[in-house]
Amino acid sequence: MKKQLQISVFLMLCFMLLQAGCIEKKPKKFTSEFAGPFDTYMIITGYALNEEKFNDTAEKISSKMQRLNNILDVYNDYSDLNNIKTVNDNAGLAPVKVPHELVDMLTYGKLAYEITNGSVNIALGPVTRLWRDFRDKALLDPMSAKLPTKEELEKAGKLCDINYVIINAKNDTVYLAKKGMSLDIEAIAKGYAAKQAKEYAVRYGLSAAVIDIGGNIVTFGRPDKNNEKFRIGIANSDITSEPVYDIVNVRDCSIVTNGGNKQFYEVNGVRYNFLIDPVTLMPASGYSSVTVVSNDPAISDILSAALFILSPEKGDEIADRYGAAVIRIFPDFSVLVNENYTLVSDKFAKTPETGQ
């Protein structure tokens, strides 16, 4: 009897120690902020067993983001790799051997063209570069600000055929088949980076996280047993009122807002942004901002750019294929949401892989 009592006490102690060990191993919340790709900041709020584990994962993500920054750079050369600038510099001359990440992203860029019916075109570089040249001159001398002429835009537009972007995935080469062509990946770059950041966060041990790359937000996992979703604010384009339009409770999804209130210049008191309509070759002006919520960071980024250009009817046709929630804010600050948005908290409460 005494021996049984000793065994029971021993087992009870083991159980108590096991419980204590489980409590100690409960993931804790940590935050890291650093300069990310594309001249923006990246904030990682993640859950890990300890600060050392979190910092190690954050450092790996930071290194990956810096590599992507260099690969996707359209302005600078790097001695150790060929990047988008290298590809653009060799347009009409020769294929360029590039890192596999660039092949992967440009392949996704061509898919973006297909799924948005041409609204997102990574070959639009000659047109967007023309607009940026006019912006740069306007910033130096605002009194002389003007728009590109129709003739200038049409000439640049002839060099934007995405069929002349030749990708050889087997050999990791990219070739722009016409001299004067150039790639512009701004509409898809941060979404691609967010997807890579999420994959690294999962691979290297974060149990849950919110990753923010310059407003491109991706979430995964559950914060804790009492809070199964993250509270994420939807940006308000009306800078004279509250900065947040709405707050949604979500997990395992991505939220991206695209708008014309960050990059623009003015001509005769009219703002011109850099979300260019490939049909008119002019900046889109139908909305102040468009926010997209979906299960895929890259899809959210692509759709937020495309839907900023398209009418609500055409945009919703595409959004519905991906079950994406959409919030449009108009220049008069009126708001239009699609049917998926009314269900957003429930719709994105399950992981797409497991449904749990």
User: What percent of the chain has a predicted confidence (pLDDT) above 70?
Assistant: 85
How far is residue 148's CA from residue 293's CA, in Å, rounded to a whole number?
34
Which of these, 292, 266, 33, 61, lies nearest to 187 by C-alpha position? 292
Comparing 264 with 94, which gets the higher pLDDT? 94
Q: What is the pLDDT of residue 37?
A: 73
What DSSP string describes 311-332?
-HHHHHHHHHHTT-EEEEE-TT
pLDDT given for residue 117 in this prediction = 95
Would you state the pLDDT for residue 326? 95
pLDDT band at 233 (very low <50, low <70, confident <90, very high): confident
Q: Taking the CA of residue 325 as centre, how many other CA atoms within 13 Å lie in the half-sphere pointing to its CB?
A: 20
Q: Which pLDDT score, from 0 to 100, does residue 247 have? A: 82
The model's pTM is 0.86
Q: What is the pLDDT of residue 16?
A: 46
Q: How far is CA 93 from the centre of its chain?
A: 31
What is the predicted pLDDT for the residue at 356? 38
Inter-helix orientation angle 297-309/186-203, to 10° = 160
Burial class of residue 19 (count of CB atoms within 10 Å of its CB; 0-12, 13-18, 19+): exposed
3 state SS of 13:
helix
Residue 113 vs residue 269, higher pLDDT: 113
Residue 297: strand pairing partners:
none
List pLDDT tens digits, range 279-325. 999 999 899 999 999 999 999 999 999 999 999 999 999 999 999 99
Residue type for position 347: K
Strand partners, 322: none
Mean pLDDT computed over 255-260? 86
More confident residue, 266 or 226: 266
DSSP annotation of 146:
-
What's the 3-state SS for 73-98? CCCCCECCECCHHHHHHCCCCCCEEC
Statement: residue 262 has pLDDT above 70? no
Higher pLDDT, 156 or 38: 156
